[in-house]
Amino acid sequence: MKKLFYIFAFVAFALTSCDKNEVNNLTELTEPIAKAVDPVDPEMIKLGKKRENPYSVENIRKAYQALQADGLLRAPMNIQATNLYVRFLPKTEDEYQALKKQGYELFDYPLEYERVEGGSYYHDPNLPKDGFTWIYVVLPVDYVFGDIQYEIISELVLQDESEASGMAAAQKVKAIDTNDWSLIEEKSFELTGNEYYSKKESTNGMMKVKVKPSGRITIEDDVLKREIGIEGVKVRASRWFTAKYGYTNSNGEYTFNYTFNGPVDYSIVWEREDWDIRHGVWAQATYNGPNTVTNSWSVKINNSNIQFVYANVHRACFTYWFNISSFGIKTPPKDSSWSPRVKIGVYDTAGRAYASPLLRWFTIPSICIYSHSKYDNGTTVKNTSAWIYQTTIHELAHTSHWEIDKDLFWSIDQILVESWAVGVAYEIPRKIYPVSSLSRWDWQHITKAKIIDMNDLERKYTPIVIDLMDTTNQSVMYGDTTQYANDKVSGYTLQQIENAIKKVKTLNGLKNNLKSMYDNPSEEHLDKLFEFYTNL
């Protein structure tokens, strides 16, 4: 029990709170965790009836024998398993990440069941809510199992996998002739009552379906008031046990380099190599799209449900990992053998966002983002696209800062930690959104009294990084040097400030580095500007 206490004390210490509406104690943090996998949650994927598996070794053999009896196939065949349909039950984050890193496509729902369109995650109702659910995956037949709990559900015969995967199993099981396989597959679908998956009506009777997945993923931005494409989205198309994926381009469009032999099930998986967006703590966030689709799939996400939050969190992540080079600053940590992916928990409730980089090595997400914000007077408001995007950038700035100064991060003055994140979350989003939409506090025109009031006794969120870059002197604009900084400093860039922030713990340390590292015409005014914020 004492060990557990120390762990929770450490987690509480590790939290780095951000905007005024962020989580500021462990009690508040654990409330949404308990609700994250509620079996009556409307966001949980609903399963339909269980279908008979047409790709089991037994059913493929039956189909072959039926075709032989009809005289449609004469050549003898030694039909063997090419793959295993398996489910794993990870007990820890390490086990879950070990499965992820193997490169197989993971599903959190059983593939032999029909799915009702809608929902964003699935958790087996027979399992405890405060843990991982079963993870379903297709593996090569000679896969070597480790210590993670598993069950082999079925042995499969998959022509696509045995031919295209490049797995060791492909070398051991001779691929069936393509024409023969088409006949066997179609017959197995018929015998197992899955005919719809292999044919569709046409003007010339029945014809086989070929599907090359394509479409467009967009969001109806409630601030920009227009539809925009979402770049870098992982779109998954699957047909029973064969799953492929593609990524959207800058216009939100995608086209797969693969053609399926029948209708497909579409979904979005809100993850990339370096980050993982979760529904709460445990569940992979997804967009459960339509089933048995014979053509393209496009979707426009609006602010009516949690997908709006996932999409905007993804947009911010894609910016920070893939498009940050134009600002010259460091990306957040990348996934590696010793550094796990950044986990971002999304909650469909009111809360206060936070980042704690050290939690990347724990099950709890290291960043949490909420769909709503709550003011001190009890009023709850739905967060806009700009707010979600900016807040995610803010939290990622903390994660990136930790990557820069791992040894010092937890001893750095919070006014420096938060002021850096405020500056990053102002400079990057303003390239997309009007400044007026980016914060409920106008950083360009905020008073000392408001900073103190906003932070209560914390007094750690300041616009000093913005002041180092901009050309606005608020004290002249308002004729007041007591409430506004006499900001005669300008022209520093995010890249310069990030370079100067390394290995320093205080605002004065940042100031001294700026002086020694760069020649700036406004450098003589640095002392006055920094004095204003260090004396809050």
Whether residue 358 sits in one domain with residue 224: yes
Is the pLDDT at 14 greater than 50? The verdict is no
pLDDT digits (tens, 9 = 90+) for 361-378: 666 788 999 999 987 777
Nearest to 70 by CA among 191, 174, 160, 158: 191
Whether residue 345 sits in one domain with residue 228: yes
Which position has the higher pLDDT, 458 or 255? 255
> How do 275-279 and 342-350 pair as beta strands?
parallel
DSSP letter string over 188-227? HHHHTT-GGGTEEEETTEEEE--B--EEEEEEEETTTTEE
Instruction: Please report, rounded to a whole number, the percentage of residues in the chain having pLDDT higher than 70.
Output: 84
Kindly state the average pLDDT of the residues 339-356. 88
Is the pLDDT at 341 greater than 60? The verdict is yes
pLDDT for the residue 21: 41
Tokens encoding 371 = 């769909």
Is residue 191 packed enough to be buried (19+ CB in 10 Å), middle (13-18) or exposed (0-12)?
A: middle
pLDDT category of residue 167 using cuts at 50, 70 and 90 = very low
Of 40-49, 212-221, 296-305, 455-464, the range with the lowest mean pLDDT is 455-464
pLDDT category of residue 217 using cuts at 50, 70 and 90 = very high
In a domain, 41, yes or no: no
Neighbours of 195 (CB within 10 A): 12
Pair 426, 443: CB distance under 8 Å: yes
In a domain, 326, yes or no: yes
pLDDT digits (tens, 9 = 90+) for 68-107: 999 998 888 889 999 999 999 999 988 998 999 899 999 9
Burial 257-274 (b: 16+ CB within 10 A, else e): ebebbbbbbbbbbbbbeb
Is the pLDDT at 30 greater than 80? The verdict is no
Kindly state the average pLDDT of the residues 53-82. 94
In a domain, 482, yes or no: yes
Whether residue 202 sits in one domain with residue 55: yes
pLDDT digits (tens, 9 = 90+) for 184-209: 999 999 999 987 666 555 555 555 77
What is the pLDDT of the chain when averaged over all its residues? 85
In a domain, 40, yes or no: no
Whether residue 370 sits in one domain with residue 257: yes
Whether residue 390 sits in one domain with residue 252: yes
Contacts of residue 75, Cβ cutoff 8 Å, sequence gap at least 6: 177, 180
Whether residue 283 sits in one domain with residue 323: yes
Whether residue 231 sits in one domain with residue 117: no
Of 189-193, 379-383, 405-409, 530-534, the range with the lowest mean pLDDT is 405-409
Whether residue 436 sits in one domain with residue 385: no
How many Å separate Cα 30 from the centre of its chain? Answer: 20
What's the structural domain count of the chain?
Answer: 3
Which position has the higher pLDDT, 222 or 405? 222
Instruction: Please report, rounded to a whole number, the percentage of residues in the chain having pLDDT higher than 90.
Output: 60
Burial 385-405 (b: 16+ CB within 10 A, else e): bbbbbbbbbbbbbbbbbbbbb
Quick check: helix, strand or coil at residue 346?
strand
Output the CA angle 207-212-216, nearest 5 degrees: 130
- β-partners of residue 47 are 115
Whether residue 185 sits in one domain with residue 161: yes
Residue the block writes with tokens 């003007």: 203
Residue the block writes with tokens 């599907």: 211
In a domain, 88, yes or no: yes
Which position has the higher pLDDT, 202 or 468? 468
Report the CATH number that the domain containing residue 283 is assigned in CATH. Answer: 2.60.40.10
Q: How far apart are the first and last CA of the chain?
A: 41
d(CA 172, CA 370): 50
- Dihedral sign from CA coordinates of 69, 74, 76, 82: negative
Kindly state the average pLDDT of the residues 59-65. 96
Q: Which of 208, 232, 260 is the last residue of a domain?
A: 208
Is the pLDDT at 126 greater than 90? The verdict is yes
Q: Which of 208, 243, 266 is the last residue of a domain?
A: 208
Which position has the higher pLDDT, 457 or 179? 179
In a domain, 179, yes or no: yes
Q: Which of 369, 397, 425 is the last residue of a domain?
A: 397
pLDDT for the residue 445: 82
pLDDT for the residue 39: 45
Pair 146, 118: CB distance under 8 Å: no
Crossing angle for the helix pair 414-427 and 526-534, to the nearest 10 degrees? 120
Residue the block writes with tokens 């393509």: 178
Whether residue 435 sits in one domain with residue 514: yes
Residue the block writes with tokens 């989580």: 23
pLDDT for the residue 12: 43
pLDDT for the residue 37: 41
pLDDT for the residue 360: 61
Contacts of residue 461, Cβ cutoff 8 Å, sequence gap at least 6: 19, 418, 419, 422, 451, 454, 455
Kindly state the average pLDDT of the residues 228-257. 96
For residue 154, give its domain range: 46-208
Kindly state the average pLDDT of the residues 497-506. 96
Integer CA distances (angstroms), 161 to 84, 87, 140, in order: 11, 18, 8
Whether residue 368 sits in one domain with residue 242: yes
pLDDT category of residue 407 using cuts at 50, 70 and 90 = confident
Whether residue 197 sits in one domain with residue 59: yes
Of 29-33, 36-40, 227-231, 449-453, the range with the lowest mean pLDDT is 29-33
In a domain, 282, yes or no: yes
pLDDT for the residue 367: 94
d(CA 115, CA 100): 23
Kindly state the average pLDDT of the residues 13-30. 39
